[in-house]
Amino acid sequence: MCQLLIVDDERIAVEGLKSGVDWSGIGITRLFEAYGPEQAKDIFRNETIDILLCDIEMPQGTGLELLKWVRQHYPRTETIFLTCHADFQYAKQAMQLGSLDYLLKPIPYPELTEAVQKAMRKLDQDNRLNEFSQYGKYWVKHQPLIVEKFWTDILNQSIPGDAAAVKKAAEERNIPFSRELTFVPVFIHIRRWDKEISLRDEKVLEYAVRKSAEELLVNDLENGLLVSLGGGCLLALVSGESDVAAEDRLREACEKFVDAGRDFFYAGVSCYIGDSAQAHQMAVMYARLRRLDANNVAYDRGVFSLHDPQAPGIGHLPPDMSMWSVLLKEAKRAELSKAVEEYLKQGAASGQLNFDTLSQFVQDFQQMVYYTLQVKGIQAHQLFGDRRSTELIAASMRSAADSLNWLRHMGDKAIGIIADIDQSQSVVDKVKAYIRENLDKDISREDIANSVYLNPDYLTRIFKKETGLSISDYLLHQRLEIAAGLLVNTEMSVSSIAGKIGYANFSHFSRMFKKVMQLNPVEYRSKHQADHAADGSRESGREKS
């Protein structure tokens, strides 16, 4: 759609131009006419004018003045000047103002047609360039995200590990790419924070670590890019082949980066350097680096390579858990903690502590603790079901340090409860206190046992041995003693008293009360209040005498 405005103070000239060219045939959809600059300006304000066909010399103002105004307000309009004088100054000024063409009257219509078509071609070219420019702005703004998504898809194998498939994906996303490009990957993992930080602070520090990686690994090494992988993980792709000099330079840059993480961001960071690979080989290389990281349980910070010597895979000899079990039963906290720490240190020093050996060790230690607790009648899921324990066990396989935290926590809690069990009076006192604090609730034998982390049957045995009563009988007697006191000494209703001692069902309370006290609650109150009244009369008579 193209609209054209003819401006000339001579109506005959305007009519001649309108009829002399097949405007619709060359693509002009609407034709406007004006007989002076001011009228032309009004049309510009109300319509979109693509081409201005304008006489230079007009009594109300020159075409050059009109063009200057158009350039200021409607710069995308193309202008063709018409004049009766071949004046060089006119032509020069018209070109300086951006006129596309300059035609002398009388104008041959084929020449005018060609000039208008030339203007239309320029408009079309400018439109395409503008669209490209807008796309270019979008590309410049979003290119890093587009490129990062491209590499993420390669690593996740959403783009198949095939050179042709990678090349096609790059072309579809308009990413400059050559299948001959090679990169040395560096897998980066923030393995821990050296101090307690909030989730918000963690995000801020992760961003700071990323910027440090960009500066020290990508910018300083002149060429490459950084891909965020989530979970505190990044992948630096450093352009170039891998040779001894390049690897030494890369390792030095990684060491500076790890030191910066420790010194400035409270971060324990590990870097894993891979071999140079082309884009379609990168998913396999990335998987190898992730396995290297997963198997690194001994060190929370450092620089490692696929070419580092690997310890023989014979595994680390398991410790003597029977001796550790004795330390646990004897409540030797410090000795047990030291033994665990020394075992892990020896495994790391020998190079034989890896994910598999650490996992076996943690499981063996847990089995030893759980068995000891079971013998004591302690329910492990109750003892270690708290939030802190859950967090520690979830993190326990990230590193030897995390495993040590979890095992120390296990040992401390187990020793604490075992010591209580061995002092049965202490456990019985805790149970009695729990019952007193919860008499107004509908508590069960299982609730009481859970409060001291013991198996209900085991607790019942030690409780009966100490008190001569089962837990259920003790709970019933405690409740009924309070009920009896309230019946005799207050005017509270029987149903209110029942609720105060944890009985929601009035009938059940009455039955249990009569079973123990031989009277129902109303009879008990009447009898004892009458006894109190009789005692009061006898006491009064003695005072008078």
Average pLDDT over residues 203-222: 81
How far is residue 380's CA from residue 395's CA, in Å, rounded to a whole number?
19
- Indicate the CATH number of 2-127 among 3.40.30.10, 3.30.800.10, 3.40.50.720, 3.40.50.2300: 3.40.50.2300
How far is residue 511's CA from residue 71's CA, in Å, rounded to a whole number?
103
Q: At residue 90, does pLDDT exceed 80?
A: no
Q: CA dihedral in degrees (213, 219, 223, 229; nearest 10)?
A: 20
Quote the tokens at residue 73: 């307000």
* Per-residue pLDDT, 233: 93
* Per-residue pLDDT, 539: 53
Residue 401: C-alpha distances to residues 261, 299, 530 (Å): 18, 8, 72
**Chain centroid, CA 114 distance in Å:** 62
* Per-residue pLDDT, 136: 45
240-262, pLDDT tens digit by residue?
766 677 888 899 999 999 999 99
* H or E, element range at 191: strand 182-193
pLDDT band at 201 (very low <50, low <70, confident <90, very high): confident
Average pLDDT over residues 109-115: 90
The lowest-confidence range among 9-13, 64-68, 422-426, 506-510 is 422-426
- Indicate the CATH number of 457-539 among 1.10.10.60, 1.20.1260.10, 3.40.50.9100, 3.20.20.60: 1.10.10.60
178-191, pLDDT tens digit by residue?
777 888 999 999 99
* Per-residue pLDDT, 221: 44
Average pLDDT over residues 388-413: 88
* Beta bridge mates, 54: 7, 81
514-534, pLDDT tens digit by residue?
888 888 888 888 888 776 666
Sign of CA dihedral 464, 470, 475, 480: negative
* Tokens 């008078």, located at residue: 544
* Per-residue pLDDT, 91: 54
Q: Which residue has the higher pLDDT, 486 or 224?
A: 486
Average pLDDT over residues 171-176: 82
**Chain centroid, CA 307 distance in Å:** 33
| Check whether domain 175-305 has CATH 3.30.70.1230, yes or no | yes
% the chain with pLDDT above 90: 18
The pTM of this model reads: 0.49
Is residue 482 within 8 Å of 492, Cβ to Cβ? no
Q: At residue 198, does pLDDT exceed 50?
A: yes
How far is residue 314's CA from residue 303's CA, in Å, rounded to a whole number?
24
* Mean pLDDT taken over the chain: 83
Q: At residue 194, does pLDDT exceed 90?
A: no
Phi then psi for 207, rounded to 5 degrees? -65, -40
The lowest-confidence range among 59-68, 176-185, 239-248, 499-508 is 239-248
Is residue 489 within 8 Å of 524, Cβ to Cβ? no
**Chain centroid, CA 131 distance in Å:** 36
Average pLDDT over residues 339-347: 86
Quote the tokens at residue 290: 């992730």
How far is residue 273's CA from residue 307's CA, in Å, rounded to a whole number?
9
Is residue 448 within 8 Å of 471, Cβ to Cβ? yes
